[in-house]
Structure formats: C-alpha cells, structure tokens
Amino acid sequence: MSKEIERKFIVDKEKWNSLEKPAGLHYTQGYLCVDAEKSIRIRITDSKSFITIKGKLKKATREEYEYDIPVEDAKQMIENLSIGSIFKIRFTINVEKKLWVVDEFLGKNEDLLLAEIELKNVDEQFTLPEWVGKEVTDDDRYYNANLVSNPYENWKHEEENSV
C-alpha cells in the first residue's frame, strides 16, 4: 500500500510573485470519481499523463496509487468520463532540502495559490518558506477534488473577509 503524507498551505501572492522561480508546468486534472472515501483523477502535463486513486484523508495521510497511462487515453477519459476538471500551473521549488510544490490555479479557481509539501511521517519537522501562509491541510475546500464542484470563485470572498 502506498501512503501520501501531505500538508497544504495558502501562498502569499505578493511574496511568491517577487521570487525568482523555475518555469511552471501546465496541468489538466479530470476527476472520474469524487466521494467521501476516495477520488480518482486523470492528470495530463505537457508530455505525460497519469491515473491517480486517493483514499480518504486522515491526519494529513491517505492511500495513494498513481500509474502512467498513454496521453491519448487520458485525453479521452477526461473528455468522455470526467465529472469536471481543474487547470493549473505547477512549480517545484526546493527549500532547505525539502521539495515544495506550488499550484497557481486557472479558470474558475483563478487567484488561488497553494503550496504542498510531502513528508515521510506526520511529525516530520520542516521550515516554512517566507511565502507560505495559513495552513489549510484540514480544510476540505482546498483539495483539488473539491475545487471541481466548488471552485474558488464561489467562496474566495468569504475567505478574504475572514483573514
């Protein structure tokens, strides 16, 4: 069984935009299934595609299985079988020997910037980069699978008013 331990944070846009960073990679993610126990997604980058099955999140940990699939199959699955898609540009950046992933969302989730770090165990220590803000690991709204049915444009004003 494969486990994913991941923490998720809002990114400070002003600080992030002032950074020199590597080029991002465009992602399309189509979801075939999203429910309380699991999500099944198809992900396409510029040159590769994957099917990913994720289990229910428990204390920043969940089961995760990911496999390469042919790009043409992935495109057809998204077109013919997905219940919705999200679009984003993904950046990877190393901070103190830890790999951070920053997603700049597009479309209905535009203006949302999230950072994720994968850990080896739930108690692993790490340093927050200066451009990382509030942790949202336990806030379901920020999970990609949920952004399909409840995009950021629907609730971002609530979030901005609560800061």
Q: Which residues are annotated as catalytic?
A: 31
Maximal CA-CA distance, the chain: 43
The total number of residues shown for the chain amounts to: 163
Measured over the CA atoms of residue 12, residue 106, residue 92 and residue 135, the dihedral's sign is positive
Contacts of 117 (CB under 8 A, 6+ apart): 6, 7, 98, 99, 100, 101, 126
Q: For residues 23 and 150, give the distance between their C-alpha atoms in angstroms, rounded to a whole number.
A: 28
Q: Are 5 and 118 in contact (CB under 8 A)?
A: yes
